[in-house]
Amino acid sequence: MEAIVSELQTLNIGKVKQNEPLLNHTTIKIGGPADLFVEPSSIDNLKKVMEVIEKNGVQWRAIGRGSNLLVSDKGIEGVVIKLGQGLDHLHINETEITVGGGYSLVSLATSISKKGMTGLEFASGIPGSVGGAVYMNAGAHGSDISKILAKAHILFTDGSMEWLTNEEMEFSYRTSILQKKRPGIVLEAIFNLEMGDRAAIVSQMQKNKDYRKETQPWNFPCAGSIFRNPLPNYAGKLIEDAGLKGFSIGGAKISEMHGNFIVNAGNATAKDVLSLIQHVKETIFNLYGVKMETEVEIIGR
């Protein structure tokens, strides 16, 4: 790893750190160290990082703003690439916007709404990056990324880059082709929006934000929704009906505001959260015969 560090520093590609605690880069404030943590300062520099990784045959994975993510207490082997500053550009061409994978989804929704564009109101309270949102087809309030994405610029594991159309992304509920069939990083996204009534758009954005504040525990470190909704049921309702709100293991606790959120109530470990997830799965299956699947991505050693 020392040789890789030296090479990346020589290339001056951005931030390079060894044994960086990933609890500093996840919204639930949990996660052991990354062997090597890299935050490239541009798409060109990201490509250089991938060339070094490929040449040395080391494992890698990408993260955005660290929401919807649970990192092992033992950390992550290999290289963690953070899409942040340097991949947070925004270009607006009438109602078509091109945005970097590292751009904050909430900031984007807020900025676009002020210009009178409609289509991103659903994202007003979704933490995370544009890249992460495209990767998992993030959604809320009856809409999702698949409704507005024209195409996405992807860097694949072999170092190749390609623009995938909406259809080629193979979107479905909270998933895309990037999660299983063709792993890769979302470098940029192009969204097609429409012009609308600015006052109405801003008002709807505020309503969505207020709803989240009233129903979800954003005053505690959390990773967002833990389970996918086992339609036609809703994960939060099943967990609440099972009497599990407020149940805790170690420092991890099921939110008393919303059953589908696990919060870090104080020095929680990934082991605590995983134990709590397993308890919920067993309880819901025993009571209702429903198999719960996690929406949060669980990664690391």
| pLDDT tens digit sequence for 174-209 | 889 998 789 888 999 999 999 999 999 988 888 888
pLDDT exceeds cutoff 80 at 46: yes
> CA–CA distance from 57 to each of 78, 158, 174 (Å)?
10, 11, 31
Q: How far is CA 49 from CA 126, 132, 207, in A?
A: 29, 19, 41
The catalytic residues are 174, 225, 295
The CATH architecture to which 2-82 belongs is 2-Layer Sandwich (3.30)
Displacement of CA 210 from its chain's centroid (Å): 21
Fold of 217-299: 3.90.78
pLDDT class of 268 with cuts at 50, 70, 90: very high
Give 211: exposed, middle or buried? Use CB within 10 Å, 0-12, 13-18, 19+.
middle
SS3 187: strand
Angle between helices 198-215 and 105-114 (to 10 degrees): 150
Which single residue is written with the structure tokens 């129903």? 215
- Which tokens hold the place of 267? 């020095």
**Rounded to whole angstroms, how far apart are CA atoms 258 and 276?**
15
Decide: 187 and 203 in contact? Cβ < 8 Å: no
Q: Report the CATH number of the 90-200 domain.
A: 3.30.465.10
* pLDDT given for residue 86 in this prediction: 86
User: What is residue 31's predicted lDDT score, i.e. its pLDDT?
Assistant: 97
Spatial separation of the C-alpha atoms in residues 112 and 132, rounded to whole Å: 19
**Beta-bridge partner residues of 143:** 140
The structure tokens listed for 189 are 């996204």
Q: Are 276 and 249 in contact (CB under 8 A)?
A: yes
User: What is residue 273's three-state secondary structure?
Assistant: helix
Query: What pLDDT is stored for residue 119 in this prediction?
Result: 93
> What is d(CA 26, CA 161) in angstroms, rounded to the nearest whole number?
27
* Per-residue model confidence (pLDDT) at position 214: 82
**Which pLDDT tens digit goes with each residue over 105-152?**
989 999 999 899 999 999 887 878 899 999 989 888 889 999 999 999
For the chain, which residues make up each domain, given as ranges?
A: 2-82, 90-200, 217-299
What percent helix, strand, coil does the chain show, rounded to 5? 35, 30, 35
Please give the model's pTM, rounded to 2 decimal places: 0.85
Radius of gyration of the chain (CA): 19
In a 13 Å sphere around the CA of 279, the CA atoms on its Cβ side amount to: 18
H/E segment holding residue 18:
strand 14-21
Q: Is a pLDDT exceeding 80 seen at residue 222?
A: yes
